[in-house]
Structure 1
Amino acid sequence: MSASTLKLNPPFRAEHIGSLKRPLKLLQKRKELDDGKCTVEELRVVEDEAIRTIVQMQREVGIKSITDGEFRRHMFYDGVFDNLEGMKHVQPVPPEMFMDYVPDVAAFKKLDFKGADTYICVSKLKRTKPFYVPQYEALKALTTPEEHKNIKITMAAPEWFHLRHGEYAYPKDVYNNDEEYFADIATAYQAEIQDLYAAGCRNIQIDDPLLAYFCAESMIKGMEERGVDHEALLDTYIRAYNNCLKNRPADMNVGLHLCRGNFRNGMHFSEGGYDRIAIKLFKEINVDCYYLEYDTPRAGTFEPLKHLPPNKAVVLGLISTKFPTLEDVDDLVKRIHNAANIIASGEPKRSVEAALNQICISPQCGFASHSEGNLVDEDAMRAKLALVTRTAKAVWGDN
C-alpha cells in the first residue's frame, strides 16, 4: 500500500459510481456526429452544457465526489485501449475470438449480437497520448477550484480485452506471454496516473466487472473445461494491477469497482458472492477502497468483508441503479451496521465503531454503463442519489 492509514476523503460517505443518465439532447447530438451531421466541436458544446447540469445535480443532492457522468464516452470502459498504440478496432468479430466462458460474452451471443466490435492487440502496446487527462481538464473547467480535489475519474480495467479474448488477446510473435503483455500495459497506466496527478487529479476508480466474474461458477466451470487455470489467471491480473499502480503518489486515492453487469433493462451477466476471491481481492490488490455490488442476493453475503484490512475502505453498493423503486432508509442503515459487525469480527479484530469508519455507501453501479442507460429516468436517478446522502447522514451524521 502507498499509505498505511485509512483514507476516507475521498472516498466520501455518500458516493456514486461514476456514470449518470445522459439527457436526450446529448444522445441526439452524438448520433448526429456518428451520422456525419455535426462536428466534434458542436458536440462538445452540448456535452459541456449537459455536464454543467449534471455537476449541479450532484451538488444539490450532496454528492461531493464529482464526475462528468461519463458523458464524453459511449461505454464505461472507453479511454484506454481505444487510445493505446498497438490496439486495432475489429468489427465484426470472428466468433471464435470471444471466450464463451466469460459471462457477458455468453449473454451477448445468446442475444445474437452480430455487430459486436472489440479491440485486439496487433503490435507492441505503447501510450502515445493521454487516456483521461483531457476529460479531467475539461471537468476542472466546469467546476470550482475548491471542487477540483474531489473530481473522480473512472478508468477501464487493465485486463478488459485480455479475459474476453484469451489466446487471441495478442499475437505470439508480439508478446511471448501474459507477463510481457501486461508489462507494457502497466507502463501505460503508470504514465497516465502520473499525468492525471500532475493535472491535479487525486481520485481514480477502476471499473472491473471481470474480477466479479471470477466469483461465478459458470465461468470457473467453463475455464476448466477449456483448460484455463483460473487461479493462475486471477494471480496474473492481480500482478497486473499492482504493476499498473506501482509508484503512484501516496495521496492519490485508488478505488476498484466490481459488479456483475449492468446492461439494458437492468440485465446482469453473472452471480456469486465474493467469497471465492475475497482474500486475494482485499489483501493482495494495492488499492485504497472497493466499490462492491450489494443490492441483490446475487452478490452474496457480507461475510467476505471479514477479510477487509483495517487500512482499506469498502463502499457498499446497496442501492440499485437498475430500477427506479427507492430502497428503505431504515433497511439500508440496518445493512450497513450488519456489514460493520462482520468487518469487526475479522482478523485483526477491531471495534464496530472502527469497522463502521471503513464503510461508505453508493449505488451498486453507474446509471449508464453504456450511453443508452437503464430503466431509471433523470428524476429517479436524482432520488436515488439523494437517498445515498440521506442514508449516509443517518449513519454517520454530516461528516
Structure 2
Amino acid sequence: MAPPPPFRAEHIGSLKRPRHLIDARTKFDKGEVTREKLTKLEDEEVLRVVKLQQKLGFKAITDGEFRRHMFYDGFFDNLEGFTLFKDPNPDIFMDYVPDVAAFKALGFKGGETYLCTGKIKRTKPCYVPWFLALAKDVAPEEVKNIKIAMAAPEWYHLRHSGEYAYSHEVYANDAEYFADIAQAYREEIDALYEAGCRNIQIDDPLLAYFCAVSMLEGLKAVGDDPDKLLDSYIKLYNDCLATKKPDFSVGLHLCRGNFKDGVHFSEGGYDAIAVKLFNELNADFYYLEYDTPRAGGFAPLKELPKHKQVVLGLISSKLPKLEDKKEVIARIHEAAGYMDDPKLERIGISPQCGFASHIEGNLVTEADVEKKLALVAEIATEVFGTTVW
C-alpha cells in the first residue's frame, strides 16, 4: 500500500501561542506552576486550535506544538545518553552553521544544548503521549490524519560536529553514533504507528543550509567535505525510516530559519541538493519554503520523482501582510510547469514554516494566523477543488 499523499492545504505544525500559555510555561520552568496546572492549560488551548483548524477545513490536524518550547523538543531530551548542558562553551557550536553564526554575532553566550554522554537508548515514549492526547480531540476516523512533527536526526551533530556531539569514549565515530540514533527513531516511529499515527513531518532547517554558500565554504575551511556530510545525513534518514510501514507517511520540511522578529539564517535555492534530496532520501513528500526569493526558483522541482509530492510554502508565517491570492495561484501553476504536472496532482500549499517555531512566535497575531490559514484553505479550494483536501 502506498502512503497517502499530503493534503492539498496544510500548515507547518506550530501556531501562535497565547500569552497566558507562555507565561504559565515560564512559571512552570521556575517551579511556580505545577505540571498538572500547565497540562490542563495546554489541553484547553490545544482543543481550541484543533477546533480552529477544523473550522477552516484542515485535515492534518496538529496540536500547534503548544506542549513544546522549541520545534525540536520531544526527542533527544527524552533519550537515555543525552545530557543537558547549560551555558556551554560557545566554541562547541560550529560557526559554519548559519544560525549559530547569527546568534554569535548577536552576542550569543551558549544558552543550553544536549550532548551525547552515554550509550543512546530509547527507554520511554517521546512523541507518543502528545499524539495520544491530541487523538482525544478529534473523531476516531480522523485520528489517522493527525500530524506529529519530529526533530531532525542530525540536529545536534551538525551544530556541534562529530568532535563535540558525542563522547568518543562511547562512540568511536559518526557511524556508530548515527546507528543508535536511527534505532531510537525506528522504535519511536513503530510506537507511533501502534498508537494509530500515520502521518509525521520531520522539521529540518539544517538540510537547507547545504544550499548556503557560507556553510559549504565553512565546512571546506575546516577540512570537511560537504557532499560526504550530506550523504551521511541522507543515509541516517533512510536508516531512521527503514522499518516504517507502507501506509505511514513521512513528510520532510525544509526552511532557512524562522526565528523571532522574522529573522532567517540562510539563503540559496534547492538546486545544490535537489537530486539527492528528492531521489535518495526516502521521504514521501516535501514541505518547501518558497515565500521569498531567498529560497530560489522552482526549477529544482523538475528533479522530483513522479511518485513523490511537494507542498509549496508560498504563504509567509513571519509577516502579517496577507499575500495576493492571484499571485500565489500563478506561482502554483509555475511550479507545476517544472514538474510536468498540468493537472496539479502532486502539489499542495502551506505557509513556508510554522508561526511559532520558538515559544514567543513570529511578528503575527492570533488573528493574523487565522487569516493566513484561511487564505491557504481558500486557495486550495479554488485550485484543487473542495473534495481533495
Corresponding residue for residue 361 of structure 1: 349
Is 2:107 the partner of 1:117? Answer: no
Task: Output the amino acid matched with 1:192.
Answer: E
CA distance in 2, matches of 1:176, 1:253: 33
The whole-number CA distance in structure 2 between the counterparts of 1:303 and 1:232 is 24
Q: How does 1:172-321 map to 2 (within 5 A)?
A: 172-321=168-317
Over the matched positions of the two proteins, sequence identity in percent amounts to 62
Residues 163-214 of structure 1 show CA distances to partners (whole Å, capped at 9, x for unaligned) of 0101111122211111111100000000000000000000000000000000
12-21 or 144-153, larger mean C-alpha shift: 144-153
In structure 2, C-alpha distance between the alignment counterparts of 1:38 and 1:176, rounded to whole Å: 43
1:390 paired residue number: 378
Q: 2:102 aligns with which of 102, 107, 110?
A: 107
Instruction: Verify the 8 A CA contact 1:6 1:312 in the aligned structure 2.
Output: no
Query: Could you tell me how far 1:112 is from its partner in structure 2?
Result: 1.1
Give the Å deviation of 1:269: 0.3
Decide which moves more: 231-240 or 88-97.
88-97
Q: Quick check: 1:137 aligned with 2:132?
A: yes
- Secondary structure of the 2:78 match is coil
Alignment of 1:317-336 (within 5 A): 317-336=313-332
Q: Matched residue of 1:30: which SS?
A: helix
With structure 2 as the length reference, what TM-score do the two structures score?
Answer: 0.98
Alignment partners' CA distance in 2, 1:211 and 1:142? 33
Question: CA offset at residue 34 of structure 1?
Answer: 1.4
Q: How big is each residue's C-alpha offset from its partner over 1:110-139, in whole Å with a ceiling of 9 and x where there is no partner? A: 111225110001111111111100000010
1:394 Cα deviation after fit: 1.3
Q: Does 1:352 align with 2:347?
A: no
Q: Distance in 2 between matches of 1:316 and 1:115?
A: 34
Q: Deviations over 1:239-283 (max 9, x none)?
A: 000000011010000000000000010100000000000000000
Counterpart of 1:245 in structure 2: which amino acid?
Answer: L
RMSD value, Cα: 1.0
1:13 aligns with 2:8: yes
SS at match of 1:86: strand
Q: Which amino acid aligns with 1:358?
A: R
Structure 2 stretches lacking a partner, 5+ long: none
Aligned residues: 386
What amino acid sits opposite 1:352 in the alignment?
A: P
Q: Unpaired runs of 5+ in structure 1? A: 345-350
- 1:347 maps to none
Give the match's secondary structure for 2:335: helix
Q: Is the 8 A contact 2:90 2:110 kept in 1?
A: no
- Contact between 1:82 and 1:119, CA under 8 Å: does it hold in 2? yes
Tell me, in whole angstroms, the C-alpha distance in 1 between the residues paired with 2:19 and 2:219.
41
| Matched-pair contact (CA < 8 Å) for 2:256–2:264 | yes
Looking at structure 2, the residues matched to 21 and 115 of structure 1 have their Cα atoms a distance apart, in angstroms, of: 26
- Aligned residue type for 2:64: G
Relative to the length of structure 1, the TM-score reads 0.95
AA at the equivalent of 1:366: G
**Any residues of structure 2 matched to 1:42-61 within 5 Å, and which?**
42-61=37-56
Paired residues of 2:89 and 2:110 also in contact (CA < 8 A): no
Q: Matched residues in 2 for 1:36 and 1:90: separation?
A: 19
After TM superposition, give the deviation of residue 319 of structure 1 in Å.
Answer: 0.2
Give the AA of the match of 2:76: F
Decide whether the 8 Å contact of 1:302 with 1:342 is kept in 2.
Answer: yes
Cα displacement (A) at 1:6? 7.0
Stretches of 4+ aligned residues off by more than 4 angstroms? none
Distance apart, 1:28 and its partner CA: 1.4
Contact kept, 8 Å, 2:81 with 2:118, in 1: the verdict is yes
| Residue number in structure 2 paired with 1:152 | 147
